[in-house]
Amino acid sequence: MTAARMRWVLLGLAGVVLVVHSLQYSFVTDDAYISFVYSRNFAEHNELSFNLGDPVEGYTSFLWTFLLGLLMKVGLPPEGTSLVLATACSLGTLYLSVRIMDRMLGRESPWSAVPALILAASSGFACWTSGGLETQLFVLTTTGALEATIASVDRPQALRRAAILAALGAMTRPEGILVFGVLGGTRIVHVILDYRVNKRPITQLFREELIAIGIFLALWGPWFLWRSWYYGYWAPNTYYVKATGKWLNPKHAGEMTDNGFYYIGVWLKQTKLRWALPLVLAGLVAIRPRTPRFTGALACGLLALVYIPYTISVGGDFMGLHRFIMPLFVAAALLIVLGVERLVMLVPARARLGAWLGPAVILGGLYVYSQVQLTRRSLDPKNLAPDHGIDTPAFLIVYTDDRGAIGKAMVDCFRPDDFSIVGGAGAQPYYGRMRAIDVFGLVSQKIAHDEPRVRPRAGHTKFASERVLESYNPTFIFSCYQIHAKPDQPTLGCGGYWRARGYEQVTMHVPGMTQQGEYYTFLAKKDRAFTCPGRVK
C-alpha cells in the first residue's frame, strides 16, 4: 500500500474511533438549549431573541444558532441536528489535519494521519463533538483557516480562503477575532522573511494580505454592524455578564485568575500534554523559515501564546474537558507529531521501523488507555461534584435531563403572560416554552450591565439581586427551589423575600428526574392560583 493510501486508511480509522468515542457521551448540555430557544424563535417568528419583542444577545454563537434555526424552519429539531452537525464538523477537522500535515511535511505520508488519531482518542475532543454547542464548528473554521494560511506559502491566493473561513469563525465565536489576528501575524512574519530574500517590488508587498483583510471585513463587518444595531451594544450581553463590572469583593479578581491557571493545568494533565512538551520542542528545532512547516508551527505556537493568557484572564470555563480551548487540541496534535516525526527521521532509514515502532505502540497505548479512563470517570454517574467550579460531563448530563423533564412536565400549564426567573436558561425554558430571564444575566440587560460581580466562577460571576428580579414582576421564581425525594414540602430558605411579597411555595411531582429526587419545589404568585397535573397538594 502506498503512503498516500495508508494515510487515508488511518484517517478512516480515526473517523470511526471518533464517532464511537463521541457516542459514549451523546448528550446536549443545558447551555446549548439557550441557543435552541433563539433558533426556535427565529424559525417560528423570524426573531433572534430569547423573549419575543426583547432582543438581548444572550448567546455567543451566531452562525451556529442561525444554522440550527434554518434547519428548524424545515422541521428538523436542534436536539438531533446539533449532534449531527457537530460530528460532521469534527470529521472535517480530522480531514483538514491530514491536509495540514501533508503541507507541513512536504509529502504525503502516514504521519499526516497521526494528529487525527490523537484527536479521535482524546476525551475532550470526543466529548465536545457531542454537547450540542458550536464548539466543533468553530474548531473546523479555525483549522480550515490555518490550512489555507499554510497553503499560502506556495500559493498566496489561498489567503482569500483563509479570510472567508476566519470570518465565519468570528461569526461563530468571538474568539475568532483572535484567530484572525494570529493567522494575520503569522502571514506578516512570512512576508517580511520572504522580502528579505527575494526583494519583491514594494507595490506587490502585502497585496494578497490586503485583499484577504478586505474579504474578511466584507463578510464580518456588515454582520457586526447589524448585530450591534439589532441588540444595541457592540459586544454580546454575555461579555458584560462574564467580563465586566466591579467586583463586590476585590479578592475575587485574583481568584478568577487562579481558576484560569487551574483550568489550563487540568488541560495539560488530563490530555497528557505536559509529558509531550519535549516532543513539541523537538519539532521546532531547525525549522527552515519561509516553509509551510515553519508557517504552520509558528501559527500553532502563536495561537497557544494568545489563547492561553486569554483563557486564564477569564477564569477558564465551568464545563469540564476543556471546551473553551478546543482549537488548541488541534494545534497541540500537529506540533506533537512534527516533533515525533523529526526524531524518527534522525534514525537511519534501515533501522527506522524497528527503532520507533515499539515505543510508538507503547506510548500510543498508554495515551489511549488514559483517555478511556478519563472518559469513564467523566461519565461516572457518581462523579457529580465540581472541581474548582468545573462541572463534570456526568453532572452536565443529569442537570440538563432533570431541567428538561421539568419543562416538559409544565409546558401545558403556562399562560402567555407568565414570566419566570430561572437559574439555567436552557432546557427548562426551552421545553417549557417559558418567557424568562436567568439570575446570571445571560438574557437580561439589567443584570448584565447594572449588577456587580459577586462570584469568582467562570460564566457565573454575576447573580441578580432580589430587587432587580422583582422589577420583572415574575409569576414564577424557579431560581429559588429545591429538588427532593419525598413529597413533603421543604421550607425554601431563599423564599422569605418572596413570600413577604405575595408568593407561595409550590411542589410538583416530575417523573424521570434522577439527581436528587422527583419532587420539585419553587415559588409562584398566590394570585396566579397555579394549577398543573402533578402538583402536590
Residue 442 has pLDDT above 90, yes or no: yes
The pLDDT assigned to 537 comes to 82
Instruction: Pull the grid cell for residue 171.
Output: 461569526
Rounded percentage of the chain residues whose pLDDT exceeds 70: 97
This prediction's pTM: 0.96
Listed range (137-146, 216-225, 348-357) with the worst mean pLDDT? 348-357
Nearest to 434 by CA among 453, 455, 460, 408: 408
pLDDT at res. 3: 77
Q: Is residue 353 pLDDT above 70, yes or no?
A: no
Q: Answer positive or negative: Cα dihedral of 89, 95, 99, 100.
A: positive
pLDDT digits (tens, 9 = 90+) for 65-87: 999 999 999 999 999 999 999 99
Q: Give the mean model confidence (pLDDT) for residues 384-401.
A: 96
pLDDT number for residue 49: 97
Task: Give the tens place of pLDDT for each residue, 479-514.
Answer: 999 999 999 999 999 999 999 999 999 999 999 999
For the chain, the straight-line distance linking the first and the last C-alpha, in angstroms and rounded, comes to 73
CA distances from 365 to 266, 358, 492 (A): 21, 11, 51
* pLDDT for res 351: 67
Using the predicted structure, report yes or no on whether residue 47 has a pLDDT greater than 80: yes
Per-residue model confidence (pLDDT) at position 352: 66
| C-alpha cell belonging to residue 209 | 494580505
Range 464-490 average pLDDT: 95
pLDDT at residue 203 above 70? no
- Whether residue 254 is predicted with pLDDT greater than 80 in this model: the reply is yes
> For the chain, how big is the Rg over CA atoms in Å?
25
Nearest to 400 by CA among 7, 40, 66, 79: 79
* Residue 352 CB contacts under 8 Å (≥ 6 apart), including other chains: 344, 345
Give yes or no for residue 270 having a pLDDT over 90: yes
Q: Give the contacts of 353 (CB within 8 A, at least 6 positions apart).
A: none
What number is the average pLDDT over the span 146-155? 96
- 112, 249, 392, 425, 517 from 514: Cα distances, Å: 45, 36, 16, 20, 6
pLDDT category of residue 243 using cuts at 50, 70 and 90: confident
pLDDT of residue 32: 98
Residue 261: predicted pLDDT: 97
**Residue 101 above 90 pLDDT?**
yes
Mean predicted lDDT score pLDDT of the chain = 93
What dihedral angle (degrees, nearest 10) is formed by the CA atoms of 166, 172, 173, 178?
10
- The whole-number pLDDT of residue 260 equals 96
- DSSP, collapsed to helix, strand or coil, labels residue 489 as coil
